[in-house]
Amino acid sequence: MGSLDALPGEARKKARKEDQPSWTQPMLAKLTKDRFSSEDWIYERKLDGERCLAFKKQKKVQLYSRNRKSLNASYPELVEALEDQEEGRFIIDGEVVAFEGGKTSFARLQNRFQVQDPEKARRSGIAVYYYVFDLLYTDGYDVTEVPLRHRKALLKGLLAYEDPLRFLGHRNEEGEKYYEEACGKGWEGVIAKRANGPYVHKRSSDWLKFKCVREQELVIGGYTEPKGSRKGFGALLVGYYENKKLRYAGKIGTGFDDRTLEKMKEKLSELERDDPPFESEDISEKGVHWVEPHLVAQVGFTEWTGDNKLRHPRFLGLRRDKDPSEVHREKAGQQG
């Protein structure tokens, strides 16, 4: 068991004797384009799963999502694993993941999201794991003001880590090197955390996201109407050629400034057609303007989902040097 007595004197003073709360807001990271290395920071693997806070009081365990939805029915094996722990009172933070090969897969985990029957969840055939990375409360004490490095040391000794419970380790100092390794392995990225920082219940620049984004060309086949004050258009519908047929890969709604939206709208309006260029795809979007597939976009994204759609796509620009018919889906793990 992790013991507060193991903390250095100054860190121990920051632990506060308090009643255990039934809920607390999670700490969230900010996205940054900067990559850096520092002895004042630690670096953790960014997992592509579902955020989960676990509250245990005696034998009762409650799992919550970041917006306080109960996750007990979706992940009964995690509830049981935490119930079996010797430590009786704690609040921990982590990420629930499923794997596709050696990588965490949000697409695979989604099959557990809507399950509200614990037995159906067990029979799903999708193994889940709880990677624990922070400690908020233990044995009557709020430890959110204790520096992160010491919270992680307490956390490592708190639980017996056997599947499906896993402790998320970290790297010291070498943030840029770890980021390069993460992207090379096809991970979602790295989270940089200030080593002596407290746990705050909001989005904070003490936690920063270094995201790995893949890139490739995709053919534009349509666009949606803009909403609200947005100019030009709402999103682009894109795809790639497979056996000479244009396959739908999803829509892109970010990465545009006002000038790009207006210029692109002019180009798209000249290419409008009555029917979709995508091959026999069930596209549920409403108010779509179909266009001749003559324009090629450079797109950044985090991964391909299980149903061959882009996850977190972002428009990077138009390509003038690529014939649309030459645009094919790139192999998994390629970096644009």
Tell me the catalytic residues.
46
Instruction: Quote the longest CA-to-CA distance of the chain.
Output: 72
Closest CA to 148 of 210, 93, 209: 93
Spell out a b/e string for 273-286, using b for 16 or more CB atoms within 10 Å of the CB, else e: eeebbbeeeeeeee
Closest CA to 240 of 161, 304, 187: 304
Residue 332's identity, in one-letter code, is A
Q: How far is CA 298 from CA 5, 79, 111, 222, 291, in A?
A: 55, 43, 30, 15, 17
3-class SS of residue 190 = strand
Give the H or E element holding residue 189.
strand 189-194
Calculated CA dihedral for residues 80, 85, 90, 92, nearest 10 degrees: -60
3-class SS of residue 272 = strand
- The DSSP bridge pattern shows strands 214-224 and 288-291 to be antiparallel
Tell me the C-alpha distance between 147 and 15, whole Å: 10
Q: How far is CA 139 from CA 70, 91, 154, 199, in A?
A: 23, 10, 12, 17
| Distance, C-alpha 202 to centroid of its chain | 17
